[in-house]
Amino acid sequence: MQLPLLDTADPRENARKRIEELRRLLEHHNRLYYVLDAPVITDAEYDELFRELQHLEKQFPDLITPDSPTQRVGGAPLAKFSAMVHRLPMLSLENAITEADITDFDLRIKRMLGIPPGHPIGYFCEPKMDGVAVELVYTDGLLTAASTRGDGFTGEEVTENVRTIRSLPLRLTGDNIPRLLEVRGEVFLSLEAFQRINREKEENGEPPFANPRNAAAGSLRQLDPRITARRPLSIFCYGPGVIEGTGFDSQQAFFSAISGWGLPVNPLVRGETGIEGAVDFYREILAQRESLPYEIDGAVLKVDSFELQRELGVKSRSPRWALACKFPPRQAVTLLEDIQLSVGRTGVITPVAQLRPVEVSGVTVSRATLHNWDEIALKDIRIGDHVLVERAGDVIPAVVKVLTEKRTGQERQLDPPESCPECGSAIVRIAEEVAVRCLGLSCPPQIRESILHFASRNAMDIEGLGEKFVEQLLALGLVQSVADLYTLTVQDFMRFERMGTKLATKLVDAIERSKHQELGRFIYALGIRHVGERTAKTLAQSFGSLEHLEEATLEELTSIRDIGLTVAQSIRTFFDNRNNLDIIRRMLQAGVTPAMERKRVGGRFTGKSFVFTGALTRFTRDEARQMVENQGGHAVGSVSKKTDYVVAGADAGSKLTKARELNVTVLSEDEFLALLETQGETEG
């Protein structure tokens, strides 16, 4: 039997093969996760494959190609976007407001085509995504460019940002891939992602996005692609641009081809024969609107046959063969009866409008967020005003504008508070923020919100510990901070009204289980400003333990990818606060031991800390850190007795002296590389 030839002697060739395999695997799992919503491996397993690929590409940088999944993370910031001309203009759509407009459209088309009124036309029906239109260019199956619609003729080149969209293939797969495929689609944010981004913005005292569309546009038009990479943008493709090397005869055929090549398309699209079916489609998706995980603002009907489309042609800005059937706006006018002040976890005081209850597309609305005082001043919102409210992707609707013509003169302006409405503490307005914050350390709503955040699903995931129970814990004086949660007993919970042993035991068990949550979740749960889930995970992976993170210097923090000065300073401020350290100490004493995230298989530097000093010639400091992290270790900036190895290049100074004093193992660059290799060999 002939064995396949495997060139074990050529490390580069082996790496090339493994790189190809890893890329294929990662894109496959990406598609399962982001497009089909059916992942078959865990996030940790995905991360392992990803890190292995990063590691190999670092060793062999010439093997990096633009379609590698590692290239999705966003390159260097741009000074400005460059202009990109669309080879075919990106048209807009004629709008229909009523159902009668839809049937008129059908009759008009038949008249133009000379088709008798009773003869049905084939329509392709699609949801109208409320996002940002883009054009993608695939050359020989490779994503080579992407641009925004702009004025329809010229848009902005946003290739790097579009690459960060996980559901979008960087390389098409399947048969008969055309030489050139221009495809148009809509970039959008899920409601969940939109709400998360706005929550973070409000906590950071930044003005929130008004709706998911603005959030998607703002994320796509980021000059720094690393910011875009942190926003989970999605895309559905819906139309052809210039295509060379293959052809289609209908919109339906175009959809099945692009979806076969791996491009994401909306699964709700369908073909209908006759306008009655198209109207049914419109009604059905209008009924589904509230339950979809993203915003749509109508249905788009397109004459399915490309031949008929050509015959009908285009007007100056829109094709004659398509119609946007708009949904009624989710707006209503009501009276703003009062403005209440709500204090959040980070002390941000948010004004909330209390409205005379009004129905907005099937939902009764009685509150609206006013975001911040700048917004109130800008829109000149007063108590007693009639306001237009809109539900736009948010759980709580927003005030669009005041109907000043309805003013009677009785309306009352509300100034920003001088002290915290809940605890009376002093408040500040930080220069670069739009928010006002309460400075009280024991402000009850802040404590309540911080405990709720700590226990929430993506943080410590303490099942059952919701608002109702946290309120009672605070009212009974059983908790003052998150640390007190770990002292609670079944008897404590039994003091609640109508609480049985069974539920009380369940709560205590849930708290107990949370003691061994992953480190990343624990860091996120602490509620450090500017540290969201993703940053917390990065910190956990980079520092490996809470202890190391607590001691991290600004320099060490900012040397980590994705962590800028603001975030680093906020982390330092948090750990420089005695009160915070005390709360952490008490949790650790109570048995909270955040678990390390799973590392790459065979990461033999797990838990080991390295310091690199002096002039390095074999690799850069960044590469060194990456190599250490790939093996589960971490690189820190200063030598202490906890340091395991100091790697010293030429002219190493005080750090080398200190290492010798503390008896820390000192390695040359070559010795470090040798250690890395021997560690690698013992892997399998």
What CA–CA distance (Å, rounded) separates 412 from 372? 17
What CA–CA distance (Å, rounded) separates 469 from 455? 11
Looking only at residues 3 through 42 of this chain, which bind ligand IVH when binding is defined by CB under 6 A? none
Question: Max alpha carbon distance in the chain (Å)?
Answer: 96
Q: Which of 128, 302, 655, 658 is catalytic?
A: 128
Nearer to ligand IVH, 236 or 454 (CB): 236
Q: Is 129 in the site for ligand IVH (CB under 6 A)?
A: yes
Smallest distance from ligand IVH to CB 149, Å: 6
Q: Is 322 in the site for ligand IVH (CB under 6 A)?
A: yes
Q: Is 324 in the site for ligand IVH (CB under 6 A)?
A: yes
Smallest distance from ligand IVH to CB 31, Å: 21
Q: Which residue is nearest to ligand IVH (CB)?
A: 133
From the number of C-beta atoms within 10 Å of its C-beta (0-12, 13-18, 19+), residue 143 rates as buried
SS3 208: coil
Count other C-beta atoms under 10 Å from residue 37's C-beta.
9
Q: Give all strands of the β-sheet with 233-244 in edge-to-edge order.
A: 142-148, 132-139, 180-189, 233-244
Smallest distance from ligand IVH to CB 264, Å: 13
Amino acid at 307: E
Q: Is 263 in the site for ligand IVH (CB under 6 A)?
A: no
Q: Is 212 in the site for ligand IVH (CB under 6 A)?
A: no
618, 621, 650: which is closest to 636 by C-alpha? 621
Q: Is 238 in the site for ligand IVH (CB under 6 A)?
A: yes
Half-sphere exposure of 463 (CA within 13 A, CB side): 7
Stretch that binds ligand IVH, among 98-106, 123-131, 611-619, 622-630 (CB under 6 A): 123-131
187, 194, 81, 179: which is closest to 139 by C-alpha? 179
Nearer to ligand IVH, 129 or 549 (CB): 129
CA angle 367, 372, 374 (to 5 degrees): 130
The beta strand positions in 561-631, using DSSP E, are 609-613
Mask 494-533, x = binds ligand IVH (CB under 6 A)? ----------------------------------------
Looking only at residues 144 through 203 of this chain, which bind ligand IVH when binding is defined by CB under 6 A? 149, 186
Q: Is 128 in the site for ligand IVH (CB under 6 A)?
A: yes
Active site residue 128: yes
Q: Is 633 in the site for ligand IVH (CB under 6 A)?
A: no
Smallest distance from ligand IVH to CB 318, Å: 7
Among 155, 208, 319, 347, interactor with ligand IVH by CB under 6 A: 319
Q: Is 455 in the site for ligand IVH (CB under 6 A)?
A: no
Smallest distance from ligand IVH to CB 92, Å: 5
Structure tokens at 491: 């008897």
Q: Are strands 609-613 and 634-636 parallel, antiparallel or unpaired?
A: parallel
Distances (CA, A) of 118 to 107, 108, 279, 337, 538: 9, 13, 16, 54, 63
Q: How many residues bind ligand IVH (CB under 6 A)?
A: 15
Q: Is 92 in the site for ligand IVH (CB under 6 A)?
A: yes
> Which H/E stretch holds residue 390?
strand 386-390
Smallest distance from ligand IVH to CB 95, Å: 7
What CA–CA distance (Å, rounded) separates 512 from 521? 15
Looking only at residues 134 through 153 of this chain, which bind ligand IVH when binding is defined by CB under 6 A? 149
**Which residues are the active-site residues?**
128
Question: Which spans of this chain sit near ligand IVH (rule: CB under 6 A)?
Answer: 91-93, 126, 128-129, 133, 149, 186, 238-239, 300, 319, 322, 324
